[in-house]
Amino acid sequence: MEPDSDDEEELQQSNSASDSDDEEELQQSNSVSDSDDEAELQQSNSVSDSDDEAELQQFKSASYSDDEEDQEDLFEPEPEPEATVVLTDREVFDCPICLDQLFTPVFQCENGHIVCSSCCSKLKRKCPFCNMRIDIRCRGLEKFLQSINILCKFAHNGCTKTMPYSKKIEHEQVCQHVTCFCPYPSCSFACSPSLLYSHFGVHHELSTTRFTYNTTFSVSVEINQKQIFLQERHGSVVFILHHEVQQHGRAFYVDCVGLSTLKDMFAYHLTAESVDMDTYVTLKSVPEVHTELPKHTFLKKYLTVPSAFAGDNGILSLSVCITKDDPAALEVQEGERGRGLHDHDAHKVLKVVLNNPGALDCSICHKPLWTPVFQCESAHLACSSCHSELKGEFSFCGYNYNRCRGLEKVIESIGKISCKYAKFGCKETQPYNEKIKHDKDCPCATCFCPHCTHHHVPLLVLTRTCTFTLGSNMQLTSPDSATGLHFLFV
C-alpha cells in the first residue's frame, strides 16, 4: 500500500507544478499582450490627438488669416481727397493783358494785379493798371494751378478727358472734339468735326459735290461761283474748292474744315484743259486745314486757269483728285459721327478737379479761405483773421504778406464745390461760402474707429465692419431710431 501512496504524491506534485507553470506562462502572455495593446492604443491616441491638434491649428490659422485679409480689404488706404470745383468765370485763368492761358510763373504788382511771365517782360515789370512795379510772384494762384485737373474746353462737344492744367493746351490742340464752324455762307452752326460733316450732308446737301478719295472727278465752275463744297462719301471732312476771277485768269485752290492734325494727310491735284483740248494746266498741293474758314486773300499756291479755257457761257470744267495718305487716321473721328452733344451747358462754366483741397485753405487756421487772401513769398496763405493776428508777418518764414488777388478772383468765381466726404458717398455740392456748414452736418462725415485707431471711416461702415474687433469691455449699440447715432459702451 505504501508504493501507491508515493506514486499518488508524485503525480499530484507533477500536476501542481505543471499547472503552476501553465498559469505563469498564461499570466506572462496576458501581461505582455495587455502591455502591447496599451502601448499601441496610447500611440494611436497620441497620433490621433496630434493630427487633430494640427488640423485645429491649421484651421485657426486659416481663419485668422482670412479675417486679417478681410480686414485689410475693408481698410485699404483711401486715395488722396479730391474736390470738384465749378467756376462761373471761364476766363479766370487767363492773363488780363494778352488773354492767353496763365502758366507758372505768374506775377503780380503790390496791388495784386496779375500778368503772365511773357507780358511781365514786355511791360518791363510796370503794371498797366496802377503803374506799380511787377516784382511779386503770385504763389497762391500758382499753387492752385498746380493742384488741379481740368476738363477739356470742348467738353460741350462730347470730350470727357481731364488732364493736369499744364497739359490743357497740348491736349486741346489734338482733341477730336474741337469746335469747327460751318463754312457755308450765313450758317452759324458750330460743333465737333464729325457732327459738322453730318450737318453739312443734311442741311447743305444740294450745295455739295460727293466724291471718293484717290479718284478723279469733274466739277463745272460758273464765273460768279466763289466756293464749291466737297464731301467724301465715307469720310468726315468738308473740303472747299475756292474760285476767284483775277486779271490774268481764274484762280483755284482747296482747303478744308476739320482737325489740325489732318494737315499732312491730304493732297489735291487740279487740272484744267483748253476748249480744243490741246493745252492743259495743273497744280498739285496740300490743303490748309482750319476749324473756322478764314476770311483771307488767296494763298500763294493756287492754280491760274486762262479765261479762254472756259466756254462761251463762262463755265469752266475742272478735274479734281483728292488723295488721302493714311486711311486709318480718320477712324477715331469717323467713329464719333452721329453722336449728340454731351453737355450743352459745359461751355458756360469751368469745371476743375482739385487734387489738393488744401490749396484753398488758410495755412495757419486751416479753414477755407475767403477774400481777402494774403500770401508770402514761400506760398503760405493766410485768411484776413490770421493776417490781422500775425500783424502781416508769417511766424514760420518771416516773410511779409501781400494780397493774392489772383486766388481771390478764383474763389469769387466758385459757383459750387463738392463735399469733402464725396469719396464716402456724399453727392451734394454747395456754394463755397456754405462749405464749412455742410461738412459739419454731412451724414457721410468720417468717424474714428475705437479699435483701428489709424483708420477713419464713415460710421455706417464702422458698424458694419469693425464690431467683431471690439474688446470684451466694449459694446457698440444699434443706431438710435430718433437720431441715427451709435453709442459705444466701455
Tell me the pLDDT tens digit for each residue of 401-457. Answer: 888 888 888 888 888 888 878 877 888 888 888 888 888 888 887 766 555 554 454
What global pTM score does this model have? 0.59
Q: Where are the domains of the chain?
A: 180-335, 355-441, 446-489
Angle between helices 405-412 and 139-146 (to 10 degrees): 50
In a 3-state reduction of DSSP, which class is residue 384? helix
CATH of domain 180-335: 2.60.210.10
| Angle of CA points 221, 226, 229, to nearest 5° | 75
Residue 64 identity: Y
pLDDT tens digits along 216-272? 999 999 999 999 999 987 777 889 999 999 888 999 999 988 887 777 789 999 999
**Residue ranges of the chain whose pLDDT lies below 50:** 1-3, 32, 41, 47, 56, 59-60, 62-80, 329-344, 454-455, 457, 459-490
Nearest to 284 by CA among 297, 302, 307: 302
- The angle subtended at Cα 166 by Cα 165 and Cα 170, nearest 5°, is 105
Say yes or no: do domains 180-335 and 355-441 share a fold: no
Say which CATH superfamily domain 355-441 falls into.
Answer: Zinc/RING finger domain, C3HC4 (zinc finger) (3.30.40.10)
What is the predicted pLDDT for the residue at 182?
A: 92
Burial label, 150 (beta-carbon count in 10 A; 0-12, 13-18, 19+):
buried
Cell of 332: 477715331
Is 178:155 a contact under the CB 8 Å cutoff? no
Alpha helices in 287-335 (DSSP H): 331-335
Helix (H, G, I), strand (E, B) or coil at 214: coil
Please count the other Cβ atoms lying within 10 Å of the Cβ belonging to residue 378: 12
CA–CA separation, 304 vs 406, rounded Å? 54
* Confidence (pLDDT) at 115: 92
End-to-end alpha carbon distance in the chain: 104
